[in-house]
Chain A
């Protein structure tokens, strides 16, 4: 009883510790972004406005971000603005930055979720089909290493050449018309991007899962179930898979970063209006409010997913508990 209570207390302590350090990191990122605006060449007030706006608005911005004040004053104003969700107006879109981000986010979320589901399913199926056949398994492992090293846009372009140019069954890029298209059209257009986004992930998941399964497949309990006459499918799904899923949990954070940077490239490649493309165009157009917004959002997602991954690991892996 006492032991359990201690463990519960320990868990709470770790949760608090992790949340605190994550928020400290977030503050660090905010300060870094502040530094970027200060260091990058040009008057900071100009970076929040397009030059053809009235001087009245210029003064308003100057006042809001305290650009005429001292440096610490500016910093505190900046932090205050950001934590009250006040990120300013995008120069290119001329609407609030938060609105722009949430407009563009939906497509990326759909892409990421679809890619995550595909890669999990396919890697599990691949491992199930090949884990008892050593030669095929080794070949797939080598192939997955190659797919992991080749940049995703090369894979995407090859897919476009095969499926869109030579076979002509897939659209080359873009989304269907918003008015006339049904769900099936969207599905048709997003198929290649999802495949491109999930292929490196399949390679990653496959190698991690395969290592764990190879370790577990000759354990005593597997041999016991096999000798009883349990079906292979049941043995794999009910006994081997749950025991080897823990290493996959440790790469959840890497996977989120993977999907974020992958979606940037995939969205540029297939010219899809998503968050990655938004980030990229913001950087190319030097749209500073949007750059700040997208950078902070990315940092927030990364920090949050790192924290979540650590906590998940804590709850699933007992060895990890003792380490902390």
Chain B
């Protein structure tokens, strides 16, 4: 499983960093000139381009990343071995932080042309953005366009002969490479998976954060303070754990409107139980231990007891369980969007990609196989890292 020649995760990260920088140099250059233009003009752009902004943020973050990496603790973290799991997780990290660099097309980019629909993986297409001249022949336009789209290498002679009949936006013929094929609208599947990664992870990490906060607070209250509340919450979490997860989530969708934050809240509410149980048992075990009792007798304040005596001890189990939780919540989110519970994130998530691909399963297998594969591989990697952390903390 282990690739022993490259011992450090840092090398891999810097490798991907340099590779994407080289591959996307012109893209970044364009972005910077674009930003510069926007900043220089007196009138701000009328439409707020969220996609562009996100990309600019990620690019600037990318360029400042080397300075961030100088920190000691991050260095320690980066000195891990490069296993398959670490590779997958760092690629996911790149996809979450800098989707604009891994794929040069936006998720919603599609050339509105029939020749681009449902292309198999690793196919190449040539196209040129042309607008007809006032005196150009309609038939000619169609002919040239069809010619461009239908041949593997475009007939340059035909194109050059008819050049006068178009106002060319891009005078060159552009070559587009579709690594994982295209969907029914001609969108690039690879870019959609990359942007779906970002959406899935933002949702699941914030939901896991919410679940973590709920679990830790409830666990502390019931383990540290009140016995009655503890018993009630324990019963409640037992009951909630007995309900199959998907039914619980579906029930909660009745309460909320269907938007992004509602999804985070729903997934957070359904995930706190396991964390609560762990915090509760750990805290009530620590409460009886000698070091804690003596610290209390010495008269430390409550905040000191909680944050200096209890928290560092339960940190290991907490980290492991939050990793499991993130994997579970990604699964739940993907299942929900696969089933078609629409929360309108604006971007296609992994589950939505699988669901829309299933309609074309007879002819285009790649629309299902790749998103489903990415989903399962990343979940397995997360589970694996959680198990690995568990071994590291030895509990």
Residues of A within 8 A of B (CB): 25, 28, 36, 39-40, 145-146, 149-151, 153-154, 157-158, 160-161, 165-166, 172, 253, 257-258, 260-261, 264-265, 268-269, 279-280, 283-284, 286, 291, 295, 298-299, 302-303, 306
14 contacts between A and B (CB under 8 A): A149-B383, A151-B334, A151-B335, A151-B375, A165-B362, A165-B365, A166-B365, A260-B244, A260-B247, A261-B246, A264-B246, A265-B246, A299-B243, A302-B244
**Residue B376 lies at the interface, judged by CB distance under 8 Å to chain A:** yes
Residue pair B335, A265 in contact (C-beta under 8 Å)? yes
Closest Cβ–Cβ distance, residue A275 to chain B (whole Å): 11
A40-B255, A150-B380 known; A280 vs B250 contact (CB < 8 Å): yes
- Chain B residues contacting A299 (CB-CB under 8 Å) are 243
**Residue B339 lies at the interface, judged by CB distance under 8 Å to chain A:** yes
Residue pair B376, A151 in contact (C-beta under 8 Å)? yes
- Chain A residues contacting B341 (CB-CB under 8 Å) are 284
**Residue B253 lies at the interface, judged by CB distance under 8 Å to chain A:** yes
**Residue B344 lies at the interface, judged by CB distance under 8 Å to chain A:** no
Interface string of B236-269 (1 = CB under 8 A from A): 0001001111110011011100000000000000
**Residue B102 lies at the interface, judged by CB distance under 8 Å to chain A:** no
Closest 6 CB pairs of A and B: A261-B244, A257-B244, A150-B376, A154-B372, A261-B246, A283-B250
Residue pair A280, B255 in contact (C-beta under 8 Å)? no
Residue pair B250, A153 in contact (C-beta under 8 Å)? no
**Residue B103 lies at the interface, judged by CB distance under 8 Å to chain A:** no
**Residue B54 lies at the interface, judged by CB distance under 8 Å to chain A:** no
Closest Cβ–Cβ distance, residue B12 to chain A (whole Å): 24
* A86, B341: Cα distance in complex, Å: 29
Known pairs A39-B255, A157-B358; list 5 more (Cβ under 8 Å): A154-B376, A165-B361, A260-B244, A286-B254, A306-B242
Taking chain A's interface residues, is the majority helix, strand, or loop, or is none over half, making it mixed?
A: helix
**Residue B340 lies at the interface, judged by CB distance under 8 Å to chain A:** yes
A149-B379, A150-B376, A157-B372 known; A172 vs B254 contact (CB < 8 Å): no
* A40, B251: Cα distance in complex, Å: 11
Interface string of B333-357 (1 = CB under 8 A from A): 0110011110000000000001000
Residue pair A154, B375 in contact (C-beta under 8 Å)? yes
B interface residues, tally (CB under 8 Å) = 33
- Chain A residues contacting B380 (CB-CB under 8 Å) are 146, 149-150
* A291, B255: Cα distance in complex, Å: 13
**Residue B199 lies at the interface, judged by CB distance under 8 Å to chain A:** no
A28-B239, A149-B379 known; A283 vs B338 contact (CB < 8 Å): no
**Residue B368 lies at the interface, judged by CB distance under 8 Å to chain A:** yes
Closest Cβ–Cβ distance, residue A262 to chain B (whole Å): 9
Residue pair A302, B376 in contact (C-beta under 8 Å)? no
**Residue B331 lies at the interface, judged by CB distance under 8 Å to chain A:** yes
Residue pair B250, A265 in contact (C-beta under 8 Å)? no
**Residue B369 lies at the interface, judged by CB distance under 8 Å to chain A:** yes
* A264, B336: Cα distance in complex, Å: 12
- Chain B residues contacting A279 (CB-CB under 8 Å) are 247, 250
* A145, B386: Cα distance in complex, Å: 13
* A198, B358: Cα distance in complex, Å: 21
Instruction: Give chain B interface residues in 295-323, CB to chain A under 8 Å.
Output: none
- Chain B residues contacting A283 (CB-CB under 8 Å) are 250, 253-254
A151-B376, A265-B246, A265-B339 known; A161 vs B255 contact (CB < 8 Å): no
Closest Cβ–Cβ distance, residue B245 to chain A (whole Å): 7
* A39, B380: Cα distance in complex, Å: 38
A153-B335, A157-B361 known; A302 vs B369 contact (CB < 8 Å): no
- Chain A residues contacting B335 (CB-CB under 8 Å) are 151, 153, 265
Residue pair B354, A153 in contact (C-beta under 8 Å)? yes
Closest residue of chain B to A29, judged by CB?
Answer: B239
Partner of B239, one of A25, A157, A295: A25
- Chain A residues contacting B243 (CB-CB under 8 Å) are 257, 298-299, 302
* A90, B235: Cα distance in complex, Å: 33
- Chain B residues contacting A28 (CB-CB under 8 Å) are 239
- Chain B residues contacting A261 (CB-CB under 8 Å) are 244-247
Closest residue of chain B to A302, judged by CB?
Answer: B242
Closest residue of chain B to A269, judged by CB?
Answer: B358
* A306, B365: Cα distance in complex, Å: 41
- Chain B residues contacting A257 (CB-CB under 8 Å) are 242-244
Closest Cβ–Cβ distance, residue B348 to chain A (whole Å): 17
